[in-house]
Amino acid sequence: MTTLSSLLAQTSFSDADIVTLLGLKDPDDIAALREAAYSLTTVEVGDTVHYRGLVEVSNICALDCHYCGIRRGNRDIERYCLTKDDVVDAALWSAESGYGSCVLQAGERRDEGFIAFIESCVAEIKERSVSQQLPHGLGITLSLGEQTLETYRRWKAAGAHRYLLRIESSNPETFGRIHPPTQRFETRVAALADLGQAGYQVGTGVMIGLPGQTLADLAADIRFYASCDIDMIGMGPYIVASGNSMLDVGMMDPQALLGLSLRMIAVTRLVLHDVNIASTTALEALATDGRAQGIAFGANVAMPNLTPREVRQNYQLYQGKPGLDQAPAQQQSGLERSVEAGGRRVGWNSWGDPRHFGRRTAANSSG
Ligand code: SAH
């Protein structure tokens, strides 16, 4: 029988190996998994954690994803869209604070007004964030849902270079259960391919602990990331949201969910090596040091929330979202302490692009 230490020393893993690692229960075994993932992170992507200042541009959404707190059908929240000045100011705050990158996220809209609005925000952020520290301006990531190839190209031309679009679950049946029939699994997979074609560094991810999800499903999610040659992973625990239409099926026990989410980060690192993995805010809804724990288990990106505090309570994708009233500077010192307590450094004033992207594009151009 394979011992855990020999399993952790492997460089490739079968589906059964992945399921074994995801299902570890013994605290010593979990510590061994954490240490293996942490060391591999240091070797593969270095000892820095990169910040991306997150601006939640708008909670207006044309879609009705069953799990989501800002879905169209939730009538209990006030809808907002920040002004261009608010978006640009928040992004520039991240540049001045040394973050190197920002993320613009919003509910999904595909109308020309919104597309042009984002395009002009991106162009202005790019232009005004150029400095001695950031000679090419801020790195800009978008997380704005499924759009057409043409829209992806417009936003890229304006200056964005990374895009996050979660597959949510790579199991088409689970995907079908958590989305209305108008949202199709195949369309989402095609959107990820379009993003690659438009030249973005592409990120995806899943929600962990979805009702009915098995460890084999999570193993398949990791295989899905590999099959799309993904550069960045943003995945987090599924937490019920008020106004969500899946309340009746509940969610996993928070402690068990935290443990599973951390093991998923670690195993993804062991299998995929050189991708960027975010330690997402949702982890902090389960434990006050959730993001620090994510870093200890192999994540190398954190996304401090820079959304103006007046509207933050209206962007609650799930219940108990942390940091609703914390000022950016306050959050920053807390996060920095946890990064350093974990033996990592913050990668100030650099984009922190995923090494995987450099390698895959070099491989494509030489072969
Ligand atoms: N509309 C954009 C971005 C906003 S939603 C998009 O779809 O890409 C961003 C992410 O929040 C989603 O991809 C989903 O994985 C996550 N999310 C939504 N509801 C959630 C919940 N109840 N628990 C945990 N994560 C959730």
CATH code of the domain containing 140: 3.20.20.70
What average pLDDT does the segment 47-64 reach? 97
Query: Does the structure show a pLDDT above 60 at 355?
Result: yes
> Residue 292 and residue 308: Cα distance in Å, rounded?
24
Gap from CA of 227 to ligand 1 centroid (Å): 22
Query: Does the structure show a pLDDT above 60 at 366?
Result: no
Q: Say how far residue 181 (Cα) sits from the centre of its chain.
A: 25
> Residue 226 and residue 351: Cα distance in Å, rounded?
23
Confidence class for position 244, pLDDT limits 50, 70, 90: confident
Of ligand 1's listed atoms, the one at least distance from the Cα of 164 is 8
Query: Does the structure show a pLDDT above 50 at 41?
Result: yes
Biggest CA pair distance of the chain? 61
Query: Does the structure show a pLDDT above 60 at 367?
Result: no
C-alpha dist (Å) from residue 98 to 164, 256, 272, 332, 339: 22, 35, 28, 11, 15
Of ligand 1's listed atoms, the one at least distance from the Cα of 207 is 15
Q: In this predicted structure, which of 22-26, 95-99, 253-257, 361-365 has the lowest mean pLDDT?
A: 361-365
285 lies in a domain? yes
Query: Does the structure show a pLDDT above 90 at 153?
Result: yes
What average pLDDT does the segment 295-317 reach? 94
pLDDT at position 9: 95
In this structure, the residue with its CA closest to atom 12 of ligand 1 is 166
5 lies in a domain? no
Gap from CA of 68 to ligand 1 centroid (Å): 6
Of ligand 1's listed atoms, the one at least distance from the Cα of 244 is 22
Note the pTM of the prediction, 2 decimals. Answer: 0.97
14 lies in a domain? no
Gap from CA of 165 to ligand 1 centroid (Å): 9
Long-range contacts of 359-362 (CB under 8 A, 24+ apart): 359/274, 360/229, 360/231
Gap from CA of 244 to ligand 1 centroid (Å): 12
Q: 48 lies in which domain range?
A: 36-366
pLDDT at position 1: 61
Instruction: Count structural domains, the chain.
Output: 1
What average pLDDT does the segment 85-100 reach? 96
22 lies in a domain? no
pLDDT at position 214: 98
pLDDT above 70: percentage of residues in the chain: 99
Confidence class for position 331, pLDDT limits 50, 70, 90: confident
Angle (CA) 145-147-149 rounded to 5° is 135
Gap from CA of 44 to ligand 1 centroid (Å): 28
What average pLDDT does the segment 135-155 reach? 98
Handedness of CA 326, 328, 334, 335 (dihedral sign): positive
pLDDT above 90: percentage of residues in the chain: 88
1 lies in a domain? no
Gap from CA of 195 to ligand 1 centroid (Å): 18
Query: Does the structure show a pLDDT above 80 at 364?
Result: no
The backbone torsions φ and ψ at residue 204, rounded to the nearest 5 degrees and listed phi first, read -145, -175
Residue 66 burial (CB count, 10 A): 17
What average pLDDT does the segment 124-134 reach? 97
> Taking a C-beta distance cutoff of 8 angstroms, is the pair 145, 167 a contact?
no
In this structure, the residue with its CA closest to atom 6 of ligand 1 is 145
What average pLDDT does the segment 151-174 reach? 98
Q: In this predicted structure, which of 72-81, 274-283, 339-348 has the lowest mean pLDDT?
A: 339-348
Query: Does the structure show a pLDDT above 80 at 144?
Result: yes
In this structure, the residue with its CA closest to atom 22 of ligand 1 is 318
Q: Pick 366 or 229 by higher pLDDT.
A: 229
Of ligand 1's listed atoms, the one at least distance from the Cα of 166 is 13
In this structure, the residue with its CA closest to atom 13 of ligand 1 is 166
Of ligand 1's listed atoms, the one at least distance from the Cα of 61 is 1
> Taking a C-beta distance cutoff of 8 angstroms, is the pair 238, 253 a contact?
no
16 lies in a domain? no
The overall average pLDDT reported for the chain is: 95
Q: Token pair for residue 79?
A: 């809808």
pLDDT at position 328: 80
SS (H, E, C) the chain: CCCHHHHHCCCCCCHHHHHHHHCCCCHHHHHHHHHHHHHHHHHHHCCEEEEEEEEEEECCCCCCCCCCCCCCCCCCCCCCECCHHHHHHHHHHHHHCCCCEEEEEECCCCCHHHHHHHHHHHHHHHHHCCCCCCCCCCEEEEECCCCCHHHHHHHHHHCCCEEECCCECCCHHHHHHHCCCCCCHHHHHHHHHHHHHCCCEEEECEEECCCCCCHHHHHHHHHHHHHCCCCEECCEECCCCCCCCCHHHCCCCHHHHHHHHHHHHHHHHHHHCCCEEECCHHHHHCCCCHHHHHHHCCCCEECCECCCHHHHCCCCCCCCCCCCCCCHHHHHHHHHHHHHHCCCEECCCCCCCCHHHHHHHHHHHHC
Q: List all residues whose CB is within 6 A of at least one atom of ligand 1.
A: 67-68, 105, 107-108, 143-145, 165-166, 168, 207, 236, 238-239, 241, 282, 317-318
What digits encode the pLDDT tens for the residues 232-241? 999 999 999 9
17 lies in a domain? no
10 lies in a domain? no
What average pLDDT does the segment 23-41 reach? 98
Query: Does the structure show a pLDDT above 50 at 186?
Result: yes
Q: In this predicted structure, which of 38-47, 156-165, 308-317 has the lowest mean pLDDT?
A: 308-317
